[in-house]
Amino acid sequence: MTDLGCVIGGVESINPFWLASAPPTDKKYNVERAFKAGWGGAVWKTLGVDPPVVNVTSRYGVHRSQDRTVIGINNIELISDRPLTVNLREIEEMRREWPDRVIIGSIMAPMEEHAWKELAVKVANAGVQGIELNLGCPHGMCERGMGSAVGQVAEFVEQTTRWVREAVNLPVFTKLTPNVTDIMIPASAAKAGGAHAVSLINTVNSVIGVDLDTMTPMPTVDGRGTHGGYCGEAVKPIALHMTAEIARQAETEGLEISAIGGITTWRDAAEFIALGASGVQVCTAAMLYGFRIVDDMIDGLEAFMREKDYASIDAFKGMASKRTVDWNELNMNHDLKARIDDDACIECGRCFIVCEDTSHQAIRIDARDDSGRKFTVIDDECVGCNLCMHVCPVKDCITMEAVDTDRPYVTWPEHPKNPMNKAAE
């Protein structure tokens, strides 16, 4: 038996899949459809103080791969533009009608104690199970002294978190911006302010592209463009790194993580959980494929857990975090060589081209008896970088083989070529 039930920031959830605060959680109609599809929870689109904001059109730009698959979305949409009273009434209705699902209230206010506290109390009184502090929006709201303008200042992160902790007796999730040089600074500030958990990452500040006909950044609003928030599959590596840092560092020990950033499949979710997240939030995948995508996420995660004999989310939570270290702790004696399967090779030559042009000239081309081409790795030149393996279009045609496995584990601080060691001598 596998149990997808989990606890995220002190909030019990039937599964680790929540919708992030974004257009998909803008109103009761959307959230209800999501719960019917199987989502465990939803973070309501960020609520602010009245009067409501005014949005522009258009609002989205996309980053596509060469086959036109959307791998990232840039948005310039602001927080909820619906009246606060309407949002609160719909949250109350959803809490009555879906008692087994989680609703977290996302809030944003000016950098004033009374504003944060009053808004937090109003949202808490609507029956939410937790409050998320949106300190990460990198466009529109930050120009007004909110969003990432708060999230980029450690003192403000700590202060807003403490204000809300003082105002409500609910779990507080501090949502962090990735637009900082060191995620540990705002994460530590959130912990100091009393956060039960951090949600990350919010969107990455970006310009998605330029219309070369009109010479205008996209998305275009009446002949002009601006920077916006970037999300989707392309930001996943950034989110994984920041999740791993918070999970493994002593200064943020005990701070739970609600992970966000490019989660599209069950495997993405499992990777974040393995790095220490208690659960995940999804936005872009739902916007591209609809709410039913959660079916595949649930089925896939359950199948993975059965295969690995993990009875619960906690059984593998943080397992990869234990193996995440600083570069200086890696084994300098670990040596790999590329191996090419001649039978699987389609003779495209991509491995040779990238190695010859951009790497170490460690692959040569030999003639085959059948007039074909044979690609051979030159071990003395191969440094084990594995670029050839990644560009090969045939799965498992190129693999990496460990050699000299009897050599001891030596880190860079211990390595004889490290000049600091010679200086010590």
Q: Where are the domains of the chain?
A: 6-323, 330-424
Q: Which region among 42-51, 253-262, 264-273, 310-319 has the lowest average model confidence (pLDDT)?
A: 42-51
Q: What are the b/e assignments for 30-39, b being 16+ CB within 10 Å?
A: bbbebbebbb
* CB contact at 8 A, 88 and 27: no
- Looking at the domain 6-323, which fold is it? TIM Barrel (3.20.20)
| pLDDT at position 425 over 60 | no
Percentage with pLDDT > 70 across the chain:
99
H or E segment to which residue 257 belongs: strand 256-260
Mean pLDDT, residues 264-270 taken together: 98
Mean pLDDT, residues 11-37 taken together: 98
d(CA 184, CA 264): 26
What are the helix (H) ranges across 62-218?
Answer: 84-97, 113-125, 148-151, 154-167, 184-192
* CB contact at 8 A, 39 and 294: yes
Mean pLDDT, residues 253-260 taken together: 97
Residue 423's pLDDT is: 55
Provide DSSP, 57-101.
Answer: S--EEEEE-TT--EEEEEE---S--S-HHHHHHHHHHHHHH-TTS
Q: Map residue 170 onto helix, strand or coil.
A: coil
397 is catalytic: no
* CB contact at 8 A, 220 and 208: no
Can you read off the two tokens belonging to residue 85?
A: 């009273």
- Count of CB atoms within 10 A of residue 290's CB? 13
Question: Residue 404 — very low, low, confident or very high, per pLDDT cuts 50/70/90?
Answer: confident
Residue 422's pLDDT is: 63
Q: For the chain, what percentages of helix, strand and coil (3-state, to nearest 5) are there?
A: 35, 20, 40
Please tell me which residue in 6, 137, 231, 351 is annotated as part of the active site: 137
Radius of gyration of the chain from its Cα atoms, rounded to whole angstroms? 25
Chain segment 176-233, per-residue pLDDT in tens: 999 999 999 999 999 999 999 999 999 999 999 999 999 999 999 999 999 999 999 9
**First-residue to last-residue Cα distance in the chain:** 58
Chain segment 348-383, per-residue pLDDT in tens: 999 999 999 999 999 999 988 777 899 999 999 999
Helices 266-274/236-248 angle, 10° precision: 30
Q: What are the b/e assignments for 95-122, b being 16+ CB within 10 Å?
A: beebeebbbbbbbbbeeeeebbbebbeb
* Mean pLDDT score of the chain: 95
Question: Residue 158 — very low, low, confident or very high, per pLDDT cuts 50/70/90?
Answer: very high
- Count of CB atoms within 10 A of residue 20's CB? 26
Q: What are the b/e assignments for 219-256, b being 16+ CB within 10 Å?
A: bbeeeebebbbbbbbbbbebbbbbbbbbbbeeebeebb
* CB contact at 8 A, 415 and 346: no
Residue 177's pLDDT is: 96
d(CA 183, CA 199): 12
Degrees to nearest 5, angle at CA 85 with 132 and 198: 0
Do the domains spanning 6-323 and 330-424 agree at the CATH topology level? no
> Domain 330-424 classified CATH 3.40.50.1100?
no
| pLDDT at position 91 over 60 | yes
